[in-house]
Copies of this chain bind each other. A is one copy, B any other.
Amino acid sequence: MVAQKSIAEKLGISRTAVSAILSGGANAEKFRPEMRRRVLKAAEELGYQHNELARAIRTGRNNVLGFVTQSIRNEYAGRVLDGVIQSTAENDFSVRIISINQERNAPKLAKQCIGQCLAGVILYDISDESFLSSLYDLLDAHGIPLVVAGGSVKMEKGLWITSDTVQGGNIVFEHLYQLGHRDFLLSFAYSWTAYSQGLYQGFSNAAAEAGIRLPKCSKCFFHDNADSEKIARIIAKNRVTACFCNTDFHALQLIMTLQKHGVRVPEDVSVMGRGNLRFCRALNPPLSTIDESLDMLGKRAAELIFERIGHRNRIFHRESIPHKLVIRASTAEVGGNIGKIDVESRKGRRNDK
């Protein structure tokens, strides 16, 4: 390996000079242009490669961020990571992936992060409170900032960045309400998560403001494919005209099931999802959904770390990223087809638009 030493020896100058010039900071300015040119030229000729590890060990800072997640093989995590990478690339940092399947071993994870001298750690989609808490403490003891992204735990320490779920539920309601819908079904998977709770809260708050008290059937959960049949039956029985699913996958399943039973989307029932996954636009009808701006989430997570690096005081910070409404063709105005299908179950329907 060609190190600074080789250059110094070749030119017969000190290693100090070589280091200062190659690092290119304010120190390099002090040297004569002639000297600088000679060093740079020699470095080029010898094929010198800067050793980041040596720099990191000396300065005590390694320009690497850790990205911890349960699984990287889903589109959601990929988008967050993409945002993190964008931000780190701009700041000459790089990203290390740490995948902890179901394991929640804080000391072990902290050991990895500290051993690699990470400048900061981002967790995505991990919501085990005691795990997060002890991990935060362990890293904090070494001055390593931790950002929890997309988690749904309430903890009064550390840096947090989440999607604004309440706002998300809000804009879904507004969109559907403006289309004239008054009879809703919320079909949620993972209903126990804070994420789902937030969406529901945002939706029902907005509904309340609009003078609509959600009937019992409007909070309803399903978890697998089989249950989308159940949802379809509930929709038919309860004269529901709009359904909000908390993932695009579930919206997809529901649309397929509805269509199988001859229920048209959006003519008979409007359907919305969440995520704006890549397949949404390929569907028929293309799926209306809300987009979490997950790349922005990742980007901000990295930025929060950059802001914290160097400050050792414990700080509590929480911020959220708003959802964006993505209107496609799976949602439409209500009313055009009432009475044309499934007449019996709809005869008592009020049209309170």
Using CB atoms and an 8 Å cutoff, list the residues of chain A in contact with chain B. Answer: 1, 47, 49-54, 56-57, 60, 62, 64, 67, 71-75, 77-79, 81-82, 85-86, 89, 94-99, 111-112, 114-117, 141-142, 225, 249, 252-253, 256-257, 259-260, 277-279, 281-284, 295
Q: How far is the CA of A6 from the CA of B281 in the complex (A)?
A: 60
Whether B99 pairs with A96 at a CB distance below 8 angstroms is: no
Whether B225 pairs with A114 at a CB distance below 8 angstroms is: no
| A85/B97 contact (C-beta < 8 A), A53-B56, A117-B51, A281-B225 known | yes
A77 nearest CB across to chain B (Å): 7
Please indicate the chain B residues that have their CB under 8 angstroms from the CB of A54 in the complex. Answer: 57
Please indicate the chain B residues that have their CB under 8 angstroms from the CB of A81 in the complex. Answer: 72-73, 97
The residue among A1, A97, A225, A260 with the most chain B CB atoms within 10 A of its own CB is A97
A82 CB contact (under 8 Å) in B57, B72, B112: B72
Interface of A is mostly: helix
Whether B57 pairs with A283 at a CB distance below 8 angstroms is: no
A281, closest chain B residue (CB): B225
Whether A283 pairs with B295 at a CB distance below 8 angstroms is: no
| A85/B99 contact (C-beta < 8 A), A278-B249, A282-B256 known | yes
Whether A52 pairs with B89 at a CB distance below 8 angstroms is: no
Please indicate the chain B residues that have their CB under 8 angstroms from the CB of A67 in the complex. Answer: 97
The residue among A116, A141, A282 with the most chain B CB atoms within 10 A of its own CB is A282
A142 CB contact (under 8 Å) in B1, B82, B253: B1
Please indicate the chain B residues that have their CB under 8 angstroms from the CB of A47 in the complex. Answer: 141
Please indicate the chain B residues that have their CB under 8 angstroms from the CB of A57 in the complex. Answer: 51, 53-54, 57
Please indicate the chain B residues that have their CB under 8 angstroms from the CB of A112 in the complex. Answer: 94
Q: How far is the CA of A89 from the CA of B75 in the complex (A)?
A: 22
A253, closest chain B residue (CB): B282
Q: A49-B142, A82-B99 are in contact. List 4 more A-B contacts (CB 8 A).
A: A71-B82, A72-B85, A86-B99, A94-B96
Please indicate the chain B residues that have their CB under 8 angstroms from the CB of A97 in the complex. Answer: 67, 81, 85, 94-97
